């Protein structure tokens, strides 16, 4: 994976900035009431990738190369960039009535990627204001960086739904529709959901531009377009293939989870009253009580969920998060450890565990935190929170060189090259020359713009400053 933020891949830099743990971790702009943000949640990400990866594969894309961002924004919108990054607003997800509708939109956006539809010039010169990333809503309640940490984003707000940033030509919309529909069919999925999604919003074509949802400003909708898509979809062999009960249940659950974290707790409790004995209802209420500070009720609700499905890692994750945020990190460890045992390939869960271990302040726990966080960074090299916590753990152990290197990795992943270089140079001076860590510090310095000659010159200057020794 390319770790260097580049203008052409600024949204990939965003992904690095928000590599954070937490139960529906939400990272957003500070001081903006309606600012867009990126959601990280292992459960929701896993469900969406489970659905979409076979479609990407059928389209001829490498699923691992398509980066899907979940954008915390109530507006109905989605986008794709030529950097193979796809963004889906929560407002769009929450307006889908079936899994097929959500998957259909994703297939359409992937169609833009497959067909190499380029962005209009305005998208490449979008706003360039620094982005201050913070965590909220059940995250670990820390700052993701300094006020300038998001400068590498190069104007995320333009990418996240402004009028002109992602406006494709009408012909490209039709091409993306058909490419998406063919991929759904090749993956054994019905394209009915894509057609139905557009049908649900057919009225958008008669609205003025200012009244349309952002998605239909950038993706112009017309009856002609819908009918052109309907014909091949209805003729396809899998058109009448029904949604699986499992997928319907997954869709209902992730919608409940999203609403519970994003709506006010009272609104969630009205939408999912205690008379609602369904799994989504019980899950949503547990989250709402947790967010409302009703810890005892939340823990009782989560314990009941665990009793019903002891092998669900996300129930354990939620329990650990509740305990952690109640100031009980030692009690949270067992729950987070169980979530990791059940889902060992999820780096975000390991970050949760590492954070709880660090907060106990015990030497043995800090050593285990280092182990968990190193494994998290191996799996997700751009996870800024993992690097920040790893720096904290190393510092607690008195390993200054390793701590400085982890801080360098943090800034490097966030696109803060100057800070990365400063920390890497300090780490280089403290680590054993020739060691793997020393070489990595050198790599960061060189990748941040310095040359080998610069390093050699620095070494000569440092040698001159050292006091002479007698032989």
Domain ranges (residues) in the chain: 7-235, 275-465
- Residue 17 tokens read as 């900035």
Instruction: Give CA–CA dist 78/71, Å, rounded.
Output: 9
- Residue 326 tokens read as 């109640």
Give the DSSP H or E segment for 89. strand 85-89
Instruction: Give CA–CA dist 430/411, Å, rounded.
Output: 18
With beta carbons less than 8 A apart as the criterion, state whether 285 and 272 touch.
Answer: yes
Domain 275-465 coded CATH 1.25.40.10: yes
Contacts of 371 (CB under 8 A, 6+ apart): none
Long-range CB contacts for residues 171-177, cutoff 8 Å, separation at least 24: 172/112, 172/115, 172/117, 173/219, 173/220, 173/225, 174/225, 174/228, 174/229, 175/111, 175/115, 175/117, 176/108, 176/109, 176/111, 176/112, 176/115, 176/117, 177/108, 177/111, 177/225, 177/228, 177/229
With beta carbons less than 8 A apart as the criterion, state whether 160 and 71 touch.
Answer: yes
pLDDT tens, position by position, for the chain (471 residues)? Answer: 222 222 223 444 444 444 444 456 554 433 333 445 788 999 999 999 999 999 999 999 999 999 999 998 899 988 888 778 999 999 999 999 999 999 999 999 999 999 988 553 333 333 322 222 222 222 222 223 333 333 333 233 344 444 344 444 667 888 999 999 999 999 999 999 999 999 988 876 656 666 667 777 777 777 888 899 999 999 999 999 999 999 999 999 999 999 999 999 999 999 999 999 999 999 999 999 999 999 999 999 999 999 999 999 999 999 999 999 999 999 999 999 999 999 999 999 999 999 999 999 999 999 999 999 999 999 999 899 999 999 999 999 999 999 999 999 999 998 899 999 999 999 999 999 999 999 999 999 988 777 777 677 666 766 665 565 555
Q: Which one, of 285, 282, 350, lies nearest residue 313 by Cα? A: 350
Q: Is the pTM of this model over 0.85?
A: no
């Amino acid at each position: 994976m390319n770790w260097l933020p580049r203008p052409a891949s600024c949204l990939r830099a965003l992904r690095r900035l928000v590599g954070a743990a937490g139960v529906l971790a939400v990272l957003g702009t500070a001081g903006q009431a309606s600012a867009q943000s990126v959601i990280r949640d292992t459960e929701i990400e896993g469900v969406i990738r489970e659905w979409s990866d076979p479609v990407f594969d059928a389209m001829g894309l490498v699923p691992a190369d398509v980066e899907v961002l979940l954008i915390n924004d109530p507006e109905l919108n989605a986008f794709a960039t030529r950097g193979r990054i796809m963004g889906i607003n929560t407002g769009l997800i929450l307006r889908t009535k079936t899994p097929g509708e959500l998957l259909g939109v994703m297939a359409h956006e992937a169609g833009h990627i497959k067909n190499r539809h380029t962005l209009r010039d305005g998208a490449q010169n979008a706003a360039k204001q620094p982005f201050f990333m913070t965590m909220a809503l059940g995250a670990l309640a820390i700052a993701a960086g300094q006020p300038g940490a998001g400068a590498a984003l190069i104007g995320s707000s333009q990418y996240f739904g402004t009028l002109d940033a992602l406006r494709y030509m009408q012909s490209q919309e039709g091409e993306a529709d058909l490419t998406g529909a063919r991929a759904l069919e090749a993956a054994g999925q019905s394209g009915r959901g894509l057609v139905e999604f557009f049908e649900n919003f057919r009225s958008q074509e008669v609205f003025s531009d200012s009244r349309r949802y952002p998605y239909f400003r950038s993706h112009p909708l017309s009856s002609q377009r819908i009918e052109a898509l309907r014909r091949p979809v209805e003729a396809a062999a899998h058109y009448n293939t029904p949604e699986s009960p499992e997928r319907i249940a997954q869709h209902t659950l992730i919608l409940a989870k999203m609403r519970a974290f994003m709506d006010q707790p009272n609104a969630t409790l009205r939408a999912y009253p205690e008379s609602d004995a369904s799994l989504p209802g019980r899950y949503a209420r547990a989250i709402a009580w947790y967010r409302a500070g009703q810890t005892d009720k939340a823990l009782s609700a989560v314990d009941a969920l665990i009793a019903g499905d002891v092998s669900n890692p996300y129930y354990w994750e939620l329990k650990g998060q509740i305990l952690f945020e109640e100031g009980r990190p030692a009690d949270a460890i067992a729950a987070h450890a169980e979530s990791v045992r059940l889902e060992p390939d999820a780096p975000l869960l390991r970050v949760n565990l590492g954070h709880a271990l660090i907060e106990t302040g015990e030497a043995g726990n800090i050593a285990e935190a280092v182990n968990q966080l190193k494994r998290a960074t191996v799996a997700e090299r751009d996870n800024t929170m993992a690097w920040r916590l790893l720096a904290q753990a190393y510092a607690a152990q008195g390993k200054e060189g390793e701590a400085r290197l982890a801080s360098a990795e943090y800034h490097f992943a966030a696109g803060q090259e100057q800070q990365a270089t400063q920390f890497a140079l300090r780490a280089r001076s403290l680590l054993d020359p020739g060691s793997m860590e020393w070489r990595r510090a050198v790599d960061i310095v060189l990748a941040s713009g310095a040359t080998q000659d610069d390093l050699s010159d620095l070494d000569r200057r440092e040698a001159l400053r050292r006091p002479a020794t007698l032989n």
